[in-house]
Chains A and B, each alone.
Chain A
Amino acid sequence: MFEWFWNILSSLGLYYKNAKILFLGLDNAGKTTLMHILRDDRLVQATPTQQPTAEEVIIGSVRFRAFDLGGHAAARQVWRNYYTTVDAVVFLVDSCDRERFTEARQELGQLLDDTNLADVPFLVLGNKIDLAGAASEDELRQILGLQMTTGKGTVAVQDVRPLEIFMCSLVRKIGYGDGFRWVSQYI
Chain B
Amino acid sequence: MNFSELEERDGLRWSALIWPWSRLEATRSVIPFAAMYTPLKNLQNMPPLLRYEPVNCKTCTTLLNPYCRIDPNQKIWMCPFCSGRNPIPPQYSEIAQNNLPAEQIFTTVEYMLPRPMAPPPAFVFVLDTCVSDAELRVAKESLMKAISLVPPETIVALVSFGKNVNVHVLGFTDSVKSYVLRGDKDYTSQNIKDLLNLGIIGSQAVQGGQSVAVQGATRFLQPISECEFMFTSVLEDLDKDPWPVKQNQRPKRCNYTALSVAVALLESSYQGYGARVVALLGGPPTQDPGKVVKLELGDTLRSHADIERDYAPFYRKAVKAFDTIATRAVNAGHTIDVFSCSLDQVGLYEMRSCVDRTGGYFVTSEAFSHPMFKKSFEMFFKSNAEGKLNMGFQGSMEIHCSREIKIAGVIGPVASMNKSGNNVSQEVEYGIGGTNTWRLCSLDPSTTLSAYFEVVNQHSSAFREGQYRYVQFVTKYQHADGTYRCRVSTNAGLWTEGSNINQVRSSIDQEAAAVLVARLSVWKTENEEAFDILRWLDRKLIHMCSRFATFGETKEAFSLPVNLSLYPQFMFNLRRSQFLQVFNYSPDETAYYRSYLNRENTENALLMIQPTLISYNMSSPPAPALLDVSSIKPDSILLLDTFFYVIVFCGERIAQWRKAGYHEDPQYAALKALLEAPKDDAASIIEERFPYSRYIEADEKGSQARFLLAKLNPSISYNNEEQVGQQSLIYTDDASLQVFMDALKEQAQQSVQNS
Where the two chains meet, the residues of A that have a C-beta atom closer than 8 Å to any C-beta of B are 13, 16, 20, 26-28, 32-33, 35-36, 39, 42-56, 65, 67-68, 70, 72, 74-75, 77-78, 81-85, 116, 171
Contact = CB atoms under 8 A, between A and B. Distances in A.
Contacts of B298: 84-85
A39 B305 CA distance: 11
A160 to B, nearest CB: 25
Contacts of A75: 343, 366
Given A67-B300, A74-B366, A171-B731, A47 B718 contact: no
B588 interface: yes
Given A13-B309, A53-B303, A44 B586 contact: no
Contacts of A44: 583, 732-734
A54 B305 contact: yes
Interface in B342-372: 343-345, 366-367
Contacts of B704: 48
A13 B588 CA distance: 25
B684 interface: no
B317 interface: no
A32 B584 contact: yes
Contacts of B730: 45
Contacts of A83: 297
Nearest to B304: A53
B343 A78 contact: yes
B731 A16 contact: no
A46 B343 contact: no
Interface residues of B, number: 37
Contacts of A26: 703
Contact of B305 (A55, A74, A116): A55
Nearest to B629: A45
A136 to B, nearest CB: 21
Contacts of B305: 54-56
A54 B583 contact: no
A42 B248 CA distance: 36
A42 B311 contact: no
A56 B589 CA distance: 19
A47 B707 contact: yes
B344 A81 contact: yes
B603 to A, nearest CB: 23
B300 A48 contact: no
B529 interface: no
B343 A51 contact: yes
- Which has the most chain B C-beta neighbours within 10 Å: A20, A51, A81? A51
Interface string B301-329: 10111100101000000000000000000
A72 to B, nearest CB: 8
Contacts of B743: none
Interface string B721-737: 00000000011111000
Q: What are the 4 tightest A-B residue pairs by CB atom distance, in nearest-first order?
A: A28-B703, A54-B303, A51-B586, A84-B298
B344 A51 contact: yes
Contacts of A47: 584, 706-707, 710
